[in-house]
Amino acid sequence: MDLKTMYPPSEPCSCETCVSYCKRPGWWTPEEAEKAIECGFAGRMMLEIAPEFNFAVLSPAFKGNELQYSSRVFADNGCTFLMNKRCELFNTGFQPLECRFCHHKRQGQGKMCHHDIEILWNTEKAKRIIVRWGNNTGFWLKQGLDVHERKRS
């Protein structure tokens, strides 16, 4: 499934509707998150846990929620990359797929994109990315956990 083709980038916009999407950070695909980590953005991510506790997602953090589990306490702060109604990641190659796709002209279509990205995060490969992120940032130690990546057979 080629999500980049299914969910092409929208035109840049800073209207009230589009900026409101930035209150809830959009999701990277696991591969995008891995590249963002490699390029120094690991410290501005948070770990979101699915309500069913069957998978997790590394996403841009809410402001003040960096390197933590996602928390409603910070939800009203908006995305850590939103500055003056503009995304710091725009046009850098690191803007999450979900953010690139969502637009006021595409209202209601973001749910499909979100769901398809969710499927990618519920994989062993994505889980290994999360484990490495947690080990490299000290996230697991801060939680009092000793987490190791499983060796592939």
Q: Which conformational region is residue 23 in: left (phi greater than 0), alpha (psi within -120 to 50 degrees), or beta?
A: alpha
> Tens digits of per-residue pLDDT, 80-130?
999 988 899 998 999 999 999 988 888 888 899 999 999 999 999 999 999
> What are the φ/ψ torsions at residue 114 (nearest 5 degrees)?
-60, -45
pLDDT score of 153 more than 60: no
Positions of E strands within the chain: 45-49, 56-60, 82-83, 86-87
pLDDT score of 73 more than 90: yes
The residue extents of the domains of the chain are: 3-142
pTM higher than 0.95: no
- Per-residue confidence at 28, pLDDT binned at 50, 70, 90? very high
Rounded CA-CA distance 144/138 in Å is: 10
pLDDT score of 77 more than 50: yes
